[in-house]
Amino acid sequence: MEPWQAFILGLIEGITEYLPVSSTGHLLVAQHLMGIGTATDLDKAAADTFAICIQGGAILAVVGLYYKRVLQMILGVLGKNPEGLKLAVSIIVGFLPAAVIGLLLNDWIEAKLFGMWPIVFAWVFGGILILAASWWARRGPIKGKGVELLEMSWKMALIIGMLQCVAMWPGTSRSLMTIVGGLMVGLSLAAAIEYSFLLGVLTLTAATAKKALWKVHVPEAADYDVWFGGAKLMWNHYGALPLAVGIIAATVSAALAVKWLVAYLQRRGLAVFGWYRIAVGVVVGGLILTGVFPA
C-alpha cells in the first residue's frame, strides 16, 4: 500500500465513520477500486485489518472533541462524579450486546456478509429506514423534545446497543442504528447524536483491539494464527508509514465531519443521508450488474 492510498482510506474512514452512510461499505469499495486486498486471502486479511485499525483516528477525534464527557465518565468510575458514573454505565450497557454478538458471530459475518451485494442491500435498506425515520420525526408529537443524555436509563441504552448489533452487517452503519435507535427510545436529537459518538468510542476501540491482537486464520500463512496475528500481518504487509498516514488522516477528517454533522442535523435532519445511501446503492449495484465492479 502506498502512502497516498493510506491517506485516501484514512479520509474515507474519518468522514464516513460517524455519518450514517457506512464507513465499512465505503472502505470496501475504495479498496476494490485501488486494487488493495484483492490478490490473495492473505492480502484481503491485511487490508481488512488496516481498515479496522485506522478507526483509531476516528476514536481520537471524538475523545478530543468530547473530552469533558470522557473526563466526567472517568471521574464517575472513580467515585467522584455520580452523573459521570451513570453515563459510563449507559455506555457500557449499550456496548455489551455488540461485544457478545461480535464474539459469537464474527467469523460467520465476515464469511457471509462482506460481499458487495449484501452491502448494496444494506445501503438501500438503510436509506429507506432513514427516510421513514425522518418522516416520523416530522410528524411526531414531541418534535424538538426528548430525554437528555444524563437522564437516559440503562434500558434505553440496552435497546440502542441491541440495534447497534444490526450494524455488524456491512453497509448498515453503526451511526445510523444508534442515532435512529436513540430517537426511537425517546432521546432528544442532540442526546442521540452525542450518545452515538461516545458509544462509538468504546465499540470502535474494542473492535480495533480485537482485530490487531486476535489470531488471523489464513490457510496460506499459519504464522498469523497466533496472538497479535492481526498486528503482525498488517506490519509485514504495509509497515508503519501507511498506518500512521491513515490514522492521522482519519483523525483530522473525523473531527471535521463530527463538527459538521452535529450542526447539520440540528438544522436539516437525516433525510439527505437516506437519499445518498439509496443513490450509492443503486450506482454500485448497477456497476456490479454491468461487470464494471466485482461482486
Residue 94 domain boundaries: 3-289
Cα–Cα nearest to 50, from 103, 2, 96? 2
Distance CA 165, CA 162 (A): 5
- Give the pLDDT score at 110: 74
Q: Where are the alpha helices (DSSP H) in the chain?
A: 3-17, 23-34, 41-53, 55-65, 67-77, 82-112, 116-139, 154-166, 174-184, 189-213, 229-238, 240-268, 271-289
| Residue 295 counted as domain residue | no
| Residue 44 counted as domain residue | yes
Cα–Cα nearest to 58, from 11, 114, 97? 11
How far CA 205 is from CA of 25, 133, 153, in Å, comes to 19, 28, 23
Helix (H, G, I), strand (E, B), or coil: what is residue 240?
helix
- Give the pLDDT score at 232: 84
- Give the pLDDT score at 195: 94
Distance CA 290, CA 150 (A): 51
| Residue 9 counted as domain residue | yes
| Residue 153 counted as domain residue | yes
| Number of independent structural domains in the chain | 1
Residue 150 grid cell? 444524563
| Residue 294 counted as domain residue | no
Distance CA 104, CA 95 (A): 15
3-state secondary structure 19-57: CCCCHHHHHHHHHHHHCCCCCCHHHHHHHHHHHHHCHHH
Residue 106 grid cell? 464474527
Q: Are 62 and 31 in contact (CB under 8 A)?
A: no
Mean pLDDT per 10-residue section of the chain, whose length is 295 residues: 93 91 88 84 84 90 93 93 94 93 78 81 90 72 70 94 89 88 88 92 88 73 71 86 94 93 83 92 91 74
Question: In this structure, how many other beta carbons lie within 10 angstroms of the beta carbon of residue 280?
Answer: 21
| Residue 26 counted as domain residue | yes
Q: Are 178 and 200 in contact (CB under 8 A)?
A: yes
Query: Which amino acid does the sequence have at 278?
Result: I
- Report the first-to-last Cα separation within the chain, whole angstroms: 22
Distance CA 65, CA 80 (A): 22
